[in-house]
Amino acid sequence: MTVMRKAGAASVACVLIALALLPALAADDYPTRPVTIVVPFTPGGSTDILGRYEAEVLQRALHGSFVVENRPGAGGEIGIAYAAKAAPDGYTLLHAPSVITLLPYLKKHVSYDLGKDFEPVGLIGLTQFGLVVSPSLPVKSVADLIALAKQKPDALTYASAGIGTPHQIFAELFKTMTGVSIRHIPYKGSIPGLTDVASGNVSMEFTDLAPAMPLIQAGKLRLIAMLANTRNPDMPDVPSVAETVAGYDAKSWQGLFARAGTPKAIVDKISDALQPDLKRPKTAARFRAIGIVAQSDTPAEFGAFIASEGVKWGKVIRASGIEPTD
């Protein structure tokens, strides 16, 4: 009887060990079929470009098929919600920008829960944002701008790519931290707003640099500061807003996610395949061409970053009075 019990216990132990090894074994073979990377925006933009970069690197490193699937709509929510319902097996990934942390504060109802539905894989890049003003505006620095705005409350205006976009939220943070009153003029995208800033119809825009650079280089926009808390090595003569407004730091980012519950071994395998390429000078140059600073965070580092960004911008959105929409 004792021998039989021992044999039974040994069998159970063997089964438990085998079950524990299954995720690792699955990761060894991963991928055995095509992997979809969902991009919640239309083809051609920076989110789509980086999603296709990930597919290219992972296909080469893991010797499998990685295909981008664009599912745009509702400010990114349609694609995000689709990925949130995928099986937790690593065969449906999501490439999303920082809007994934903003939508829960900007909409009354969203059909995903970032903390419960997704597993962070890695931070891929930071979008470079700058503060540009009309050349007709008599300011050449952030200090000049603050002084003019305080001298003429509500006389100055700022353009954005629309209500609830990073462009607006970054401007509202600036207003909160400086105590200035600047009126918001929303547009359907950043380029129409930049055009009106260049013509002098609007005073300024807190903008991603990629669409603004042609106008800056042509002298039709004046770049007075970077929004990140440090200077851009490629533009060392342009100060950061934080040099005048201590603590100001505004980042828009892009990252890769897996469905929550995806085996950690698979998440780590994807991360380990991406990180070395993200550190290559060639990749950094490729990203800079579209206004992105390459990053290479681990899943744990990315998770901590997401949590801090969500708390920070949630407070800014509530303080600014931006009302959630249906």
In this structure, what CATH number is given to the domain that contains residue 164? 3.40.190.10
Positive or negative, the Cα torsion across 25, 29, 32, 35?
positive
Same domain, 110 and 52: yes
Helix then strand count (H, E) for the chain reads: 12, 11
Positive or negative: CA dihedral 160, 163, 165, 170: positive
CB atoms within 10 A of CB 251: 19
104 lies in the same domain as 136: no
Q: What pLDDT is attached to residue 233?
A: 85
- In-domain check, residue 261: yes
- pLDDT of 18 above 50: no
DSSP category for residue 34: -
Whether residue 25 is contained in a domain is answered as no
Angstrom distances, CA of residue 36 to CA of 97, 160, 269: 17, 32, 16
% pLDDT > 70, the chain: 92
Q: 142 and 213: one domain?
A: yes
* Residue 31, preceding peptide bond in cis (omega within 30° of 0): yes
Contact 278/124 with Cβ under 8 angstroms? yes
Whole-number pLDDT of residue 307 = 93
150 and 182 share one domain: yes
Express each pLDDT in 41-68 by its tens digit: 989 888 999 999 999 999 999 999 999 9
Residue 3 lies in a domain: no
For residues 101 and 190, membership in a common domain is answered with no
CATH number at residue 258: 3.40.190.150
For 237-288, what is each residue's pLDDT tens digit? Answer: 999 999 999 999 998 999 999 999 999 999 999 999 999 999 999 999 999 9
Domain that holds residue 103: 32-126+251-320
Domain-embedded: residue 181 = yes
Gap between the terminal Cα atoms of the chain: 67
- What is the distance between the alpha carbons of residues 260 and 119, in angstroms, rounded to a whole number? 5
Whether 273 and 205 map to the same domain: the answer is no
